[in-house]
Chains A and B, each alone.
Chain A
Amino acid sequence: MQNTTIVETHGLTKRYGSGVLAVDSVNMSVRRGEVYGFLGPNGAGKTTTLRMLVGLIRPTSGTATVVDHAPGDPSGLKRIGSLIESPGFYPYLSGRENLRVVGDLAGVDQRRVNEVLDIVELSSRAHRKFGTYSTGMKQRLGVAAALLKDPELLILDEPTNGLDPQGMAEMRKLIKDIGQGDRTVLLSSHLLGEVEQICDRVGVISNGKLVRQSTVQDLIGEEGVLVRAAPLDRAQQVLVTMFGSDAISRQDGALHLKVKPEKSTEINRQLVSAGVGVSELRPFERSLEEVFFQLTGEKQGS
């Protein structure tokens, strides 16, 4: 029976010789067939983790299993397509010739080169030298190379880096298309909108630690209730009595309550009984961005 987990790490750690702890005991699991978003600010340890998963760097400690093999095992690599950081190709060769070189190494039929060029819509410019490509074309060629093996697992590290808004939208669509069916996509990004739109589950990494791993819905779906009332201090006192101070925060002249929206009726009744005028009472859903900043300790707009 096929394992339902395609990537699994236990205590994966990378400490560089300089003493820098880039990845700290990451326990991560990616399920077959899902699009998994690996979120984190720049320098959080995303690329280092992905490099360990494809065997480019060795972990200091911990273990990882990728498509049923140890990272870097040739049998495993034949089933993985990856684009790690920037695409690495020979500038004096055309896009097509670069793919042929990769195809030779990967042992794929050279006819596949034209197929993947079609998928990434680069066929008409495949004869041009890689060195003359725009950033968007380079990224597309990187994705094409990753698709050559028709891999079970596709690892894409910041594929929209350096792209303009249109290029980003096109890349998002491409990744969505690629992620259809049985293929698993592990997508690292620091762009929250990108992950929110594409991914089924996410892992959030901060300072080398995986601080959260869940479905996107679970992550942003920690519902709450927003209350606007006057006097606000009195309203806060009533609500603290009801739910405790940890459940309440004050933002932009309103009270945010970490409680189920079903409590709204009770909240309204108690506030009115206490002589508080309620002007707004509604459920609210946090954006992935808010969750991300909360989990990573980053400041919004900073």
Chain B
Amino acid sequence: MIATIKAEWRKNRFRPAFLVSSGLIAGITVLVYSSNWYLATHPGAAERAISLTQLYPDQFVNNVIGAGFPLGAAMAIVLGAILAGSEYSWGTLKTLFTQGPGRLTTWTGRMVAFTVWMGILTIILFAVGAAYSVLIVSVNNQAIAWPSVVDIAKGFGAIWLILTVNGALGMAIAVLVRQSAAAIGIGVVYLLSIEIIAVRFISSISNGDYKWIGNLFVGQNASALLGHLSNAKGVTISTEQALVVLFAWLVALLIVAAGLQRVRDVA
């Protein structure tokens, strides 16, 4: 197992897709903070007033979790699809599967390396958000106050889980269709459109009798988890349910992908 994790880490640490996405997530955080800073200092420009204090370090967790879903989730789907799908297009699967470690071991190693990468992306997101909030508070000559360690840990854990579940979705689709391009298309369209339409439709059947089915989708639970962290109103799914459902999706997606990799021929 250690050997496969080592190999996965070695091949992914300089992977352009990961390096670009690291820069992208940092860039998005900077963009969000910059635009909010501008709107906070130019009150007439915004439909909704943004207070400068909302951008201070004690609020930075609330600010960065906004980048985690759906934008971060979409990025995770793309990365997962690239990671698993490119093994088919490059013909590297046969190289990996003929070295010694079994298929499931190889797959597990890949998944561990991927979760580490999702952790790194979350760290980048939090680090850039924290740094930018320090910049804003410093420019305004205010004292720096941080959220509690527990709040930071909760936010970090929630973002990491959401990125990992969506990444696993991208990986599972890529294994299913044996390529990256289609997996990216299917995954992103699912996240940004199909799931939303499906949940709306299910919720409208029989005056909402089947809404509980809609509450089992990844997006609904990701939104709910982040909603609780930012004290949003009107969140109907509990934190506990959101965590259970997201973990269940993660496990299910990994098992499906692992099963496909194990039984299928490598052509």
Question: Which residues of A pack against B, CB within 8 Å?
Answer: 51, 54-58, 72, 74, 77-78, 80, 82, 84-93, 97, 100-102, 104-107, 145, 149
Question: Which residues of B pack against A, CB within 8 Å?
Answer: 3-4, 6-7, 10-11, 14-16, 90-102, 106, 265-267
Taking a contact as CB atoms closer than 8 A, the residue among A55, A58, A90, A93 that contacts B98 in the complex is A55
Query: Do B91 and A92 touch across chains, with their CB atoms under 8 A apart?
Result: no
Query: Do B14 and A51 touch across chains, with their CB atoms under 8 A apart?
Result: no
CB<8 Å pairs between A and B, sample of 15: A51-B266, A55-B98, A58-B265, A78-B100, A89-B95, A90-B11, A90-B90, A90-B92, A92-B16, A93-B11, A97-B11, A100-B10, A101-B7, A104-B7, A105-B4
State the majority secondary structure of interface residues on A: loop
Ranked 10 nearest A-B pairs via Cβ: A88-B91, A104-B7, A57-B265, A105-B99, A56-B266, A78-B100, A88-B92, A88-B95, A106-B99, A104-B6
B42 to chain A, nearest CB (A): 43
A105 to chain B, nearest CB (A): 4
Query: Do B7 and A105 touch across chains, with their CB atoms under 8 A apart?
Result: yes
Instruction: Please give me the residue from chain A that is nearest to B2 by CB atom.
Output: A104
A144 to chain B, nearest CB (A): 12
Instruction: Please give me the residue from chain A that is nearest to B90 by CB atom.
Output: A88
Instruction: Please give me the residue from chain B that is nearest to A78 by CB atom.
Output: B100
Query: Do B98 and A77 touch across chains, with their CB atoms under 8 A apart?
Result: yes
- List B contacts of A58 (CB < 8 A): 265
**With A88-B93, A100-B10 in contact, do A74 and B98 touch (Cβ < 8 Å)?**
no
Query: Do B91 and A105 touch across chains, with their CB atoms under 8 A apart?
Result: no
Instruction: Please give me the residue from chain B that is nearest to A47 by CB atom.
Output: B267
Query: Do B4 and A57 touch across chains, with their CB atoms under 8 A apart?
Result: no
- List A contacts of B90 (CB < 8 A): 88-91
Query: Do B267 and A57 touch across chains, with their CB atoms under 8 A apart?
Result: yes
A162 to chain B, nearest CB (A): 14
